[in-house]
Chains A and B, each alone.
Chain A
Amino acid sequence: MDLGILAWGDTGWGDELARGVLTTVAIASAAYLVGAALGTLLAAMKLSGTPAMNVPAAVYTTTMRGIPEMLVIYLVFFGGGALSSWIASSVLGIHDRVDLPSFAVGVVCIALSVAAYACEVIRGAVLAVPGGQIEAAEAVGMTRSQRNRLVVAPQAFRMALPGMTNVWQFALKDTALVSIIGVTEVMRTASIGSDATKQPFTFYFAALVIFIVIAYLSQRLFVRLQASADRGVRWGS
């Protein structure tokens, strides 16, 4: 195994891989934020108690959690492309083939799956806020929005964090899948490198190490976030 091919600069693939890392982190972060927002919305729908809100949210999460993420990417990228081409030709009269931007599709697809998992985490966290807290908020005359904003949300955030840390790890690992639609993140860069140098093990092993390092560093960030969310909590009282 020749590690020289992973060097920085024109002779090695170090800088290409580093650029891949930036893309991977960008996709994962964007998808995570969008997915968390969408997941919060879905959780609110599930908690609303009205079937008109409840049922669509339940159908969405069950569907997304039952279909392979890779299939979702194919469906949105190729299916969406075909659909856009069809709309373009039949409605707008443009007969060129429409190709969807792969980076955006990657972010959207991972966000869609993050939303399904985040929904369950956030719903559980909201339900875990003690009922007495809500009664107390009502007793001091808070409005519904004040109660949600000042009492429920900060506590639910703290309780959702462990689960949302797992969801982040999911999102990070899922970014490898967008390599199949040509986004040059870590995995795709490794594939290109291994094709060019005929050193597949070196490159995929490098990709493995890179993912583990990103996972480790981001884990530490979440530990810090948890510590800050837990400040003021008296354990065991």
Chain B
Amino acid sequence: MGFLDHFAFIAEALAHLSVGIPRTILLAVASLLIGFVLAIGVAAALLSQAFLPRWIANGYVYIFRSSPLLVQIFLIYYGSGQFRSLFESLGLWGLFREAWFCAILALALNTCAYQAVLIAGGLRAVPWGQIEAAQAVGMSRCRVFVTVAFPQALRHALPAYSNEVVLMIKATALASTITILEITGLAKQMASETYRPFEVFAAAGLVYIALNGAVAAGFTRGERFLRRNVAQRT
């Protein structure tokens, strides 16, 4: 086997794996967005004055952050089978039988826990004077949150968010363990069909590095955009 042949095969693998790129992106984007919406509520609960919501939110965050994502995915996908009759009577079995649904649910619940901590940290960093000022001009609590506190919290959280997006793109690889043929799933399939695992998995690695490089570059631009109205320290 010639040296050039390896590169030719890696190029072939890249072409084959590119089919999985939209699937990986779909998994990541769907779970990040669902996780984000849920995380706003969880972050609010984490900062709540009331004991019960704070306690529940803390418990949720603790459980999802200190156990492996693979366990969470298997628990939802395979574990739901143990309660099949219950899910059938609730009319939910059609969903839980679906690998895509279970993967996105597990990824979303997982990233929600991490995002909630990020958002709560961002909210804590908003200067209290800003909230008081907003209240002083007669804004409602809800309006203070939406127009004053939350946008500033996001700006604080954004650098850490780029990290979370990269971690989620990496995490989508675990969906391959429950039959989803995204980049890693396709690579596994191709490696066992061609008996050339080294080239195939290396090609998959290149695809992930390109994806995550694009994410990092995008976030650098986004940060610059969000800081456009912030006075520059000189």
Contacts and interface: CB of A to CB of B under 8 A. Distances in A.
Interface of A: 1, 62-63, 65-72, 74-75, 78-83, 169, 173-177, 179-180, 187, 190-191, 194, 198-202, 204-205, 207-208, 211-212, 215-216
Interface of A is mostly: helix
B71 A71 contact: no
Given A68-B171, A187-B71, A74 B166 contact: no
B202 A79 contact: yes
23 contacts: A68-B170, A68-B172, A70-B173, A71-B173, A71-B201, A72-B205, A74-B201, A78-B198, A79-B197, A82-B195, A187-B70, A187-B71, A198-B82, A200-B79, A201-B80, A201-B83, A205-B75, A207-B75, A208-B71, A208-B75, A212-B62, A212-B66, A212-B67
Given A67-B208, A68-B173, A71-B208, A201 B68 contact: no
Nearest to B65: A169
Nearest to A80: B198
A172 to B, nearest CB: 8
B191 A200 contact: no
Q: Of residues B74, B173, B209, which shows the largest number of chain A Cβ atoms within 10 Å of its Cβ? A: B74
B191 A78 contact: yes
Interface string B150-169: 00000000000000001000
Contacts of B69: 173
B219 to A, nearest CB: 14
Given A67-B209, A200-B81, A208 B198 contact: no
A180 B171 CA distance: 15
B184 interface: yes
Contacts, number: 126
Contacts of A83: 198
B139 interface: no
Nearest to B191: A78
A66 B213 contact: yes
A74 B208 contact: no
B209 A199 contact: no
B48 interface: no
A207 B170 CA distance: 22
Nearest to A72: B205
Interface string B36-66: 0000000000000000000000000011011
Those 10 A-B pairs whose CB atoms lie nearest each other, nearest first:
A79-B198, A68-B173, A176-B68, A201-B79, A78-B197, A215-B66, A201-B82, A200-B78, A75-B201, A204-B75
Q: Of residues A68, A82, A177, which shows the largest number of chain B Cβ atoms within 10 Å of its Cβ? A: A68
A182 to B, nearest CB: 14
Contact of A202 (B70, B74, B82, B202): B82
B187 A71 contact: yes
Contact of A212 (B63, B195, B205): B63
